[in-house]
Amino acid sequence: MSETTTTAPASTTPRPPSRISRTFHILGLLRESPVGMFGAALILFWVAMAILAPLLPLYDPLEPLAPFQPMGAAAPDGGTFWLGTDHKGRDILSRVIWGSQRVLIWATLSTVVAYLVGMLMGSMAGYLGGWWDEIISFLSNVLLSFPVMILFVIIITLLGASGLNIVIAVTFASAPGIMRIVRGLILDLRTRDYVFAAQTRGESAWYIMLVELLPNARGPLIVDACLRLGYTVVAIATLGFLGLGLPPPEPDWGLMIKEAVPLGSFAGHAMVVPAVALSSLILGFNMLADGLREISLRD
């Protein structure tokens, strides 16, 4: 039934698929990859949790209720602590769900900023070439020669721990890698006919970079963005774990683990729950990227 409804309009309208459907064509193909579907499901689950957090019947993630309750314990007001409570008596289920919102917002924001910077750098290095390329590539090599976590620790030590500084740190760490990929793609695309056509029309270099080249480089970038979102989630959580991340008391997965580990001998669930949540989200990003790569290699 669903087959006929999806194919029927396509056969009656012979016009080429719209820009949006072409962009998401690859996501439609994802149905053929079980690994990718599973990854997408994991991500969708956490995104749904993050969006629905204010609507779900949860305890206040900041309110101390009853400390060290095990999983499924009864709450004082007659409810249930499905995943128990932490050392301050805060409901872990509520903190994990609110924590997903926080990590997803900051990871997305950081990745988007890193992408904007990386794509700009990459297009300039690839399209303008010459000294631009030399300087941008050298700066990227310098930044890429730092082990990532060391770069994070140095930047956060110098600037202090805050959301904005995490965005800056992620941009410094990720933009050089994005720049390299974009530069490679642009070097390949810049000899295409449509670029010559635009040059002959007298379009400016910025127009060609932003309107002609970048949209055509999106394929490999989607896979990379997916992986990078995963890395950024790891980075934000790791900084939280090291005490260099987003400031408390707002729930943060990394910080939850940091606080729970010293008490692990009698409240193990308080550290296991956020660790499992974090791992499942990263697994989602990696599996989705794997599925997308497999599909894009096929055609």
Partner 1 sequence: MLILTLRRLASMLLIMLVVSFLLFALFETDKLDVAGKVLGPYSSEEQREIWLEKNGYNEPFLKRYVVWVGNALRGDFGQSIQLKVPVSEVLGQRLANTGILALCLFLLMIPISLTMGIFAGMKEGSFRDRAISVTSVVTTSIPEFASATLLSAIFVFSLGWLPGTSSMSGGFDWKQLVLPVAVLLLYDLGYVARMTRASMAEVMTSQYIRTAILKGIPYRRVILKHALRNALIAPFTVIMLQLNWLLSGVIVVEVFFAYKGFGSLLYDAAVFGDIYVIEACTLVAVFVAVFSQFISDIGYTMLNPRIRF
The binding track of 92-131 with respect to partner 1, each residue x by CB under 8 A or -, is: ----------------------------------------
Using DSSP, state whether 73 is helix, strand or coil.
Answer: strand
The binding track of 34-53 with respect to partner 1, each residue x by CB under 8 A or -, is: -x------------------
Q: Which of 146, 187, 199, 216 is close enough to bind partner 1 by CB under 8 A?
A: 146
Classify the C-alpha dihedral 73-78-81-87 as positive or negative. negative
Helices and strands in the chain: count of H runs, count of E runs:
13, 2
* Least distance to partner 1, CB of residue 7, Å: 29
Judged by beta carbon, residue 53 or residue 139, the one nearer partner 1 is: 139
Judged by beta carbon, residue 209 or residue 244, the one nearer partner 1 is: 244
In 3D space, the residue among 182, 171, 164, 167 whose CA is nearest the CA of residue 114 turns out to be: 171
Distance CA 280, CA 36 (A): 14
Could you tell me the end-to-end alpha-carbon distance of the chain, in angstroms, rounded to an integer? 27
* Least distance to partner 1, CB of residue 213, Å: 28
Confirm if 277 and 100 have CB atoms less than 8 A apart.
yes
In 3D space, the residue among 189, 170, 195, 175 whose CA is nearest the CA of residue 122 turns out to be: 175
Judged by beta carbon, residue 80 or residue 279, the one nearer partner 1 is: 279
E-strand stretches of 30-89: 73-74, 80-81
Question: Quick check: 290 binds partner 1 (CB under 8 A)?
Answer: yes
Judged by beta carbon, residue 209 or residue 255, the one nearer partner 1 is: 255
For the residues of 219-251, what is the DSSP string, one character each? HHHHHHHHHHHHHHHHHHHHHHHTT-SSPSSS-
Q: Which of 13, 18, 145, 200 is close enough to bind partner 1 by CB under 8 A?
A: 145
Question: Quick check: 227 binds partner 1 (CB under 8 A)?
Answer: no
Question: Quick check: 276 binds partner 1 (CB under 8 A)?
Answer: yes
Binding site for partner 1 (CB under 8 A): 35, 138, 141-142, 145-150, 153-154, 156-158, 230, 234, 237-238, 241-244, 254, 257, 261, 264-265, 268, 271-272, 275-276, 278-279, 282-283, 285-287, 290
